[in-house]
Amino acid sequence: MSVDPREVCDVSHQSSPNRKTTDAAAATGSRLDSYVDRYATRTHGMTASEVRSLFAVASRPEVVSLAGGMPNISGLPLDVVGSLVHELVDKRGMTALQYGSGQGDPTLREQICEVMRPVGIAAHPDDVTVTVGSQQALDLVTRIFIDPGDVILAEAPSYVGALGTFRSYQANVVHVEMDDDGLVPARLREAIATVRASGSAIKFLYTIPSYHNPAGVTLTPQRRAEILEICRHADVLVIEDDPYGLLGFDGEVPRALRADDAEQVIYLGSFSKTFAPGFRVGWALAPHAVREKLVLAAENSVLCPPAFSQLAVSDYLAGHDWLAQVKDFREAYRERRDAMLESLDDLMPAGAQWTKPTGGFYVWLTLPEGIDAKAMLPRAVTNRVAYVPGTAFFADGFGSRSMRLSYCYPTPERIREGVRRLAQVIEQEMELRATFGAWAATRRPGLDGPAPDQS
């Protein structure tokens, strides 16, 4: 049961050992949050994501978590990382532990241009802005482009972290349909025409074209060209989020949208998936005029990104075969992907469908007709398996029959066990529905309190 903090609770009939406290509470209306009238309007859309809310449950050792997208860094050479950090402090500590440049370390920006070459991007370091993870880059881009009520086009489903950022800046998200080949060009044309006909302003299209989070699909080369042409013709800016582009399993590296349009596309990248998330280093590659605004927004936000993390990543790129390390990560994730798909093939009941990713971290599973993934989650957690309900990845409440399954972190054995437990829960839900009908399938006796994804 949820409580609106703006509601007033009548405590006049209650006794209290501290009369002054009670009188003070009565004077302020006994609000659960006495600051509620002071917050900016945009805070009303700030809610905890369903992914973050699951962590407390999913982190229990007895629960197989197929929920979070935590990179598996067990293959990272910690001795190498430890040595470079030690040497960084020993030889350049006075620089590494000091304030740095608002745009980011110049050497790292040059190296980022090299990191982007495998996806086809030729860029100049002056157009790169280093950020605290690509999430900050996404926040900065949204801040400089979005006024309340502006429209952002985004794939359906879309990355939950992006939806939270868009909501915080009071944007209206209009979803555009995807299929197994990624964003559907015809649906994009329709969405642009519909929004424009309503008189609303479209500020940009947000897309993860390679190894999508959460859908696991990849935009085909033919569609990439078509999507770019549609956006050029309609003068719609494209925000390309590409944290997984180097993590393909078939040896092919998808060509970035930014590689074919330097003016219409702002490209976001990250070292969280190809090195280590703990350093929190990402970047935005943008046209020169936009880059100026990004640097100003970044300085207003954090003054400067952490120099230590940037120099550590720079030393890693300079002194270690980082491409070979990425290859090792790809092989580890491929093994886990295979375990996931094989288990789904073997164990899922009839009527369930899922994507077959060729890279990245995620599978998108659609349940048999009539099964609600969010309503089923408490039973799944009771059965010691966790996932993220599909509704977390939509701004409009859709996705109730779907869920995101992550294979990046658990071992193959744990993945198989997790899918086995999940299949049992789905079969139980199907039996419950068949016996008692749709209403009974949503009832959870003894679970009147908040569900695990709401706590």
pLDDT truncated to tens, each residue of the chain (455 aa)? 333 333 333 333 334 444 444 444 444 455 677 787 787 877 776 666 555 656 666 667 889 999 988 999 988 889 989 999 999 999 999 999 998 888 999 999 999 999 999 999 999 999 999 999 999 999 999 999 999 999 999 999 999 999 999 999 999 999 999 999 999 999 999 999 999 999 999 999 999 999 999 999 999 999 999 999 999 999 999 999 999 999 999 988 999 999 999 999 999 999 999 999 999 999 999 999 999 999 999 999 888 888 999 999 999 999 999 999 999 999 999 999 999 999 999 999 999 999 999 999 999 999 999 999 999 999 999 999 999 999 999 999 899 999 999 999 999 999 999 999 999 999 999 998 888 765 554 554 433 333 333 33
- 243-289 pLDDT per residue, tens: 999 999 998 899 999 999 999 999 999 999 999 999 999 999 999 99
Cα distances (angstroms) measured from residue 60 to each of 55, 63, 384, 412, 444: 9, 5, 9, 18, 22
Alpha-carbon span 372 to 391, nearest angstrom? 10
CB atoms within 10 A of CB 455: 11
Alpha-carbon span 278 to 243, nearest angstrom? 15
Alpha-carbon span 316 to 451, nearest angstrom? 42
- Please give, one letter per residue, the 3-state secondary structure of 194-235: HHHHCCCCEEEEEECCCCCCCCCCCCCHHHHHHHHHHHHHHC
Alpha-carbon span 13 to 337, nearest angstrom? 59
Per the DSSP assignment, residues forming a β-bridge with 238 are 205, 265
C-beta separation of 255 from 224 below 8 A: yes
Residue whose token pair is 């949503």: 442
3-state secondary structure of 299: helix
Phi-psi region of 225 (alpha: psi -120 to 50; beta: other; left: phi over 0): alpha
Alpha-carbon span 399 to 390, nearest angstrom? 5
Alpha-carbon span 151 to 157, nearest angstrom? 16
Length reported for the chain: 455
3-state secondary structure of 354: strand
C-beta separation of 409 from 71 below 8 A: yes
Alpha-carbon span 455 to 450, nearest angstrom? 6
Alpha-carbon span 72 to 228, nearest angstrom? 33
- 146-166 pLDDT per residue, tens: 999 999 999 999 999 999 999
Alpha-carbon span 51 to 379, nearest angstrom? 17
CB atoms within 10 A of CB 270: 21
Phi-psi region of 388 (alpha: psi -120 to 50; beta: other; left: phi over 0): beta
C-beta separation of 130 from 104 below 8 A: yes
H/E segment holding residue 270? strand 265-270
3-state secondary structure of 107: helix
